[in-house]
Amino acid sequence: MVKIVLPDGSEKMVEDGITGKEVLAALEPALRKEVICLQIDDALADLGASLPAGATVRLVRRTDPAALEVLRHSTAHIMAQAVKRLFPEAKLAIGPAIENGFYYDFDLPRALTPEDLTAIEAEMKKIVKEDYPFVREEVAKEEALTRLAAEGESYKVELVKELEEATVSFYRQGEFVDLCRGPHLPSTRYAKAFKLTSIAGAYWRGDSSRPMLQRIYGTAFFNREELESYFKLLEEAKKRDHRKLGRELDLFSINEQIGAGLILWHPKGGRIRQVIEDFWREEHVKNGYELVYTPHLGRSVLWETSGHLGFYQENMYGGMEVEGQEYRIKPMNCPFHIAIYQSRSRSYRELPFRWAELGTVYRYERSGVLHGLLRVRGFTQDDAHIFCRPDQMPEEIDRVLAFCLKMLQAFGFKEFKLYLATRPEKSVGTEERWAAATEALQAAIEKTGLPYAVDEGGGAFYGPKIDLKIKDALGREWQCSTIQFDFNEPERFDLTYKGPDGQDHQPYMIHRALLGSLERFFGILIENYEGAFPLWLAPVQAIVLPVLPENQEYAGEIYDWLRANGIRAELDSRNEKIGYRIREAQLQKIPYMLVVGSKEAETGQVAVRTRREGDLGVWSRAELLARMQEEIATKS
């Protein structure tokens, strides 16, 4: 028998050997229209699949997250069918679903143009109307090779030769057949809302010595409204692109003479960074951390002991010889914090140690993946390491997770999603330690009441972890905080403390990055606020604008008064009309614009405009300062 779990949670038992289509036939018509494939135990399958004895089967509906991947994979096949109709000599490579859509790689007789995308889309719409069922075929490997070779599909031949299975699967829709594991939609008519977005070059198998193929990207949704919403989101994201705003607001730059992926923080960006760092340090001290500082490089023997030269060398920058010793630039701070721990013997009475550092590290990233502030080669990580006894460990996890949430909330983030990654097959550390650490992480998550998912087997080989993602103003998820146990380095470096029994014991070691890296977090902040930073973060909090040249002396007095009271202010006394200078300040997203003319000079007041509210009238200095200080203190 097979257990069918229905969407309302109810269950029914059916005979094994029947297909998903037969199960569907017995359901309500409204539900039948919603189901696109099956989940048999943990694997997705077509509706035509036979149900094995003892299995638990769930119906995957359009609204289920897994359904979108199936739709997009099927739409990639529809696109390939359209391309083959328009370019019969095209050779097929691969066509997977990806995070925001799908792509397919083709070997084509000529370079594609934007007009070709329009023609391919039109042909895809015909295929959707023709309503071809996706039909799975199982073929012996040798027969598959013969078939594909006869069709000239050399890329598919290469893929099949690498498979270990005796049989391979193909999917047919109409005249088009493609090598594929599946699953797919019941038929092409389900793919009604799609759009081809771009053309790019892609080396076969990502190898620059292999042929360059043409990659067509697209996206698909189950209805037109979702598709239109997606493109509206893309347009909004373009407006918020931190690289564009970084130039316009003069926050940072990347200079090719210095090198790709290496960030130059301009004065305005530097001011924001200073505010972030000062706040970070103050909060860490309040939360029982001590600040440490470590070098930018260390002897290669350090990285041999830590294991980085064994499993991370390709991401490290090459060695340099100094007085016969090889040194490497650091990709991580943890071995240095361990060295501080090892500088003398430690007692159980001293633990826990909470050591934090804004440590700059360097990692090799391929030029193709570099992306403004979000993917760089040099960055400052807000690193911390906690060394504690087993009995202290659960409380430390509670404490660090609460601290992460508090810090991120201070920057205006309100929506969070947590991910618990558990022990993979290959790992180091005892079962007892893994179990205790995983239990502490899960308990800490559950105390927050926030939504979370368990990534079974998704932990690093050296320990389980929590990844904390934030949602920005556009609803996009960003990875920030990580709380990661490490059972590897304490063993490699032989970390110990003297217990109450006089014996040596190994401490728990917990890595913790809170903001992630200052560069990446700054990029997220720029896009979240569209460059219009809240007052406490704004690089220029107020700009003083004299109406006429004769008002410049009083304007200078207001400017000096603001600076004396800790307000980051600028004075714009250019020989331009006041309306023009106000518009310029608005474009620079300055929170407060203080206009001073002859009346204000006589009364000692200022005319106040804000970025959000416009003209607020004439205020006294005391009123203005009280409002600004309150806004800064509450981070509103």
Q: Which residues are catalytic?
A: 334, 363, 381, 383, 385, 465, 511
Write out the two tokens for 124: 């895809």
Dihedral pair phi/psi, residue 504, rounded to 5°? -80, 135
Dihedral pair phi/psi, residue 546, rounded to 5°? -70, 140
401-435 in b/e form (b: 16+ CB < 10 A) is: bebbbebbeebbbeebebbbbbbeeebbbeeebbe
Q: Count of alpha carbons within 13 Å of 124, Cβ hemisphere only?
A: 24
Determine how β-strand 569-571 pairs with β-strand 542-546: parallel
Q: Count of alpha carbons within 13 Å of 281, Cβ hemisphere only?
A: 11
What are the CA-CA distances from residue 129 to residues 120, 174, 380, 428 (Å)?
A: 14, 12, 54, 55
Q: Count of alpha carbons within 13 Å of 198, Cβ hemisphere only?
A: 5
Q: Which residues contact 90 (CB under 8 A, 6 or more apart)?
A: 83, 84, 106, 107, 108, 109
Distance CA 513, CA 253 (A): 25
Q: Look up residue 119 and give its DSSP letter.
A: H
Determine how β-strand 569-571 pairs with β-strand 320-322: unpaired
- DSSP assignment of 173-241 equals ETTEEEE------SBGGG--EEEEEEEEEEEGGG-TTSPEEEEEEEEEESSHHHHHHHHHHHHHHHHH-
How crowded is residue 385: how many other Cβ atoms within 10 Å of its Cβ? Answer: 23
373 near 519, Cβ under 8 Å?
Answer: yes
Q: Which of 366, 401, 388 lies closest to 512, judged by CA?
A: 401
Q: Which amino acid is at 375?
A: R
385 near 511, Cβ under 8 Å?
Answer: yes
297 near 330, Cβ under 8 Å?
Answer: yes
174 near 132, Cβ under 8 Å?
Answer: yes
Distance CA 614, CA 623 (A): 17
Q: Which amino acid is at 592?
A: Y
